[in-house]
Amino acid sequence: MTRSPVSAQGLSPERAAFIKAALESQGFMQLLGAEVDEVSAGRCMLSLRARPQLMQHNGLFHGGAIAFLIDNTTTAAAGTMTPEGQLVLTAETS
């Protein structure tokens, strides 16, 4: 098995594709209609189109939708910086 380490030059295309596919396979991503816009070394960008089902009573994004975006993007960004085979399950601090 060939490893695709993260280097100062960036993330390997294979690793970026793996992380993107993992995100896109998540049922909750699909349920909310989130899209993966970018995966690169130390970075992930997701987008979520505003629609009535994701809004709270004042017409703003529901906090749960915002929390999901924060958790998934920070987790995926952290995953771009870890060695292959090491999982990052959620955004966390130590």
Using one digit for the tens of pLDDT, what is the confidence trace for 41-93? 999 999 999 999 999 999 999 999 999 999 999 999 999 999 888 888 887 65
Question: Could you give the domains of the chain?
Answer: 13-79 (3.10.129.10)
Tokens encoding 69: 């975006």
Contact 34, 69 (CB under 8 A): yes
CA distance 50 to 30: 14
Contact 80, 45 (CB under 8 A): no
CA distance 84 to 86: 6
CA distance 68 to 85: 24
pLDDT of residue 81: 93
pTM score above 0.85: no
